[in-house]
Amino acid sequence: GENVEQHPSTLSVQEGDSAVIKCTYSDSASNYFPWYKQELGKGPQLIIDIRSNVGEKKDQRIAVTLNKTAKHFSLHITETQPEDSAVYFCAADLGYQKVTFGTGTKLQVIP
């Protein structure tokens, strides 16, 4: 089955700095890579996604890159704000939303 590894497990940045979270996946058949943000006591919320036919996607301060050859993808958050503090999960999807999640990154943005 698919295996997704995510690093780092915790990340602290100063407000205004950038944050980068990296993930690798094992199954080359995975073709959809969503990123979720989970705030304390809430369900995961989709923040950005990328499909395997695209190398990069950007939405305001958030961007995701995908390297299919190396089987890794990354989340980039620029100009971080305190409200960005949360746990972020990467995921890989084989095609019908049987999503395999990474273990999460706890991001803390220090004001």
Partner 1 sequence: NAGVMQNPRHLVRRRGQEARLRCSPMKGHSHVYWYRQLPEEGLKFMVYLQKENIIDESGMPKERFSAEFPKEGPSILRIQQVVRGDSAAYFCASSPGASEAFFGQGTRLTVV
**Local structure of 82: helix, strand or coil:** helix
Q: Which of 40, 42, 60, 83 binds partner 1 (CB under 8 A)?
A: 42
Q: Which of 3, 18, 26, 45 binds partner 1 (CB under 8 A)?
A: 45
State the burial class of residue 30 (Cβ atoms within 10 Å of its Cβ: 0-12, 13-18, 19+): buried
Residue for token digits 């049987």? 98
| 1-40 footprint of partner 1 as x/- string (CB under 8 A) | x----x---------------------------x-x----
Percent helix / strand / coil, the chain, rounded to 5: 5, 55, 40
DSSP state of 95: S
Complex with partner 1: residue 69 or 96, whichever CB lies closer: 96
Question: Which 53-92 residues touch partner 1, going by CB under 8 A?
Answer: 89
Residue for token digits 């919320």? 45
Is there binding between residue 109 and partner 1 (CB under 8 A)?
A: no
Q: Contact region for partner 1 (CB under 8 A) — 12-20, 54-62, 68-76, 93-101?
A: 93-101
